[in-house]
């Protein structure tokens, strides 16, 4: 059986995912979604992390995909508007 080595990118993404998960796991109003992929030759690897309340995850995805301010790179809360 071939032993697979994780790339530096995948290892760092896993560490970030673990840290982000720890930040949201005790708060039902927070969630995090991380999708990171990397292609090396003919193989694509990925790190996917979902943490938080299912309702918050769904709300976050819906808000991100439908809110023009978020799609444009910042929410009204962040820009002060």
pLDDT at 80 over 50: no
Mean pLDDT of 32-56: 87
Burial call 10-22: b when 16+ CB within 10 Å, e when fewer: beebeeebeebee
Q: pLDDT band at 73, cuts 50/70/90?
A: low
Residue ranges of domains in the chain: 8-75
Q: What is the rounded distance in angstroms from the CA atom of residue 60 to the CA atom of residue 53?
A: 11
59's tokens: 């709300």
Residues 6+ apart with CB under 8 A from 9: 36, 38
pLDDT of residue 3: 46
pLDDT of residue 4: 61
Mean pLDDT of 33-40: 89
37's tokens: 């992929």
Q: What is the rounded distance in angstroms from the CA atom of residue 18 to the CA atom of residue 10?
A: 12
């Amino acid at each position: 059986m071939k032993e697979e080595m994780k790339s530096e990118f995948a290892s760092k993404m896993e560490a970030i995912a673990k840290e982000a998960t720890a930040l949201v796991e005790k708060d039902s109003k927070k969630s995090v979604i991380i999708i990171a992929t990397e292609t090396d030759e003919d193989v694509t690897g990925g790190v996917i992390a979902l943490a938080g309340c299912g309702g918050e995850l769904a709300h976050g995805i819906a808000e991100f995909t439908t809110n023009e301010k978020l799609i444009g790179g910042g929410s009204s809360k962040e820009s002060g508007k």
